[in-house]
Amino acid sequence: MIAQLAGVSKPTVSKVLNGRTGVASETRRRVEALLREHGYRRPAAIAPAAVIEVVFYGLERHMAIEIMRGVEQVARGHELAVGFTEVASPTAPGRSWAEELLARHPIGVLAVHAAFTPDQHALLAAGAIPLVALDPSGEPLHATPSVGATNWSGGIAAARHLLDLGHRRIAVVGGPLDSLGARARLEGCRAAMDAAGVRLDDRLVRAGEFTFEDGSALGRELLSRPDPPTAVLCGNDLQALGVYAAAWRLGLRIPDDLSVVGFDDIDNTRWCCPPMTTVRQPLAEMGATAARMLMDLAAGDTPVQSRVELATTLVVRDSTAPPRA
């Protein structure tokens, strides 16, 4: 039926469904649109490869390793291998990552921080490849199960810790505002300060990429103000390490002159000087939870919960102290 509606041969539809080359772009788009419109699914009789494919977009190596560790633990129990795909850009020319995965036909796909489109989701569904989003950068599609962390609660815990120490001029170096996790961490901080009767000064709020470089640049900008903050709450640990560097260049000591809080709890936070107070994300557990959810989908079962959020934990080390009198 799809071939007839698209005005192409059945082998052409098969090529699209299996992610193979040799199909003109316009023809491929027409076939994909019809597959999506009619909710077509490849027959289950075609056995998938014994692989869980993990797709990463814009994720640092240290986080990817922890997530893969959790996925591999579940995969090993099912005698499956784990594949790795890194997406350089969601709009990169050529075949999309969804089309490439169709050709490999894994048992399922975990998309980490990936901004996948409805078209890509529908294409995987047509190929009978289940999809789970892990810590998605945007709102997951309503039909896509997802696993994340309690970012809002983590922002609250970090801000309360600084407030309890006596800080009132608290700055935020957060992640990009199109990231749900970054926004949740910022709003958690704002909620905790509002509850304590302390207004978050918008002049002390900055948004950037989750990188050391942006943390350093934005941190230097904040710390160079005539009325600098006494504490900086960062969107992730790389940004916090950038703030460390900015403070060092300005001759400020942590935590004597400035308190810093990160988010994620990567290994570097225990090795830097001083060891960093941060909010821990259970990355390996998130990977394992997403993999178990994926195995349920591959077995034809519906997950009990379509959205799972695992608890974050404040880890207090030596980068926070009461503000200087």
Per-residue pLDDT, 191: 98
How is domain 1-40 classified at the architecture level of CATH? Orthogonal Bundle (1.10)
Per-residue pLDDT, 178: 85
Domain parsing of the chain, residue ranges:
1-40, 46-149+285-310, 151-280
Nearest to 149 by CA among 204, 209, 206, 70: 70
Long-range contacts of 282-285 (CB under 8 A, 24+ apart): 282/149, 282/310, 282/311, 282/312, 282/313, 283/63, 283/66, 283/67, 283/70, 284/66, 284/67, 284/69, 284/70, 284/73, 285/70, 285/310
Per-residue pLDDT, 135: 80
Per-residue pLDDT, 43: 57
Neighbour order of strands in the sheet with 313-315: 205-207, 170-174, 231-234, 259-264, 277-280, 313-315
Per-residue pLDDT, 230: 98
Q: Please determine whether the domains at 1-40 and 46-149+285-310 fall in the same fold group of CATH.
A: no
Q: Give me the CATH code for the 151-280 domain, please.
A: 3.40.50.2300
Nearest to 46 by CA among 144, 129, 130: 129
Long-range contacts of 83-86 (CB under 8 A, 24+ apart): 83/51, 83/52, 83/53, 83/54, 84/53, 84/54, 84/56, 85/53, 85/54, 85/55, 85/56, 86/55, 86/56, 86/57
Is 3.40.47.10 the CATH classification of the domain at 46-149+285-310?
A: no
pLDDT < 50 stretches in the chain: 45
Per-residue pLDDT, 75: 96
> What is the pTM (predicted TM-score) of this model?
0.83
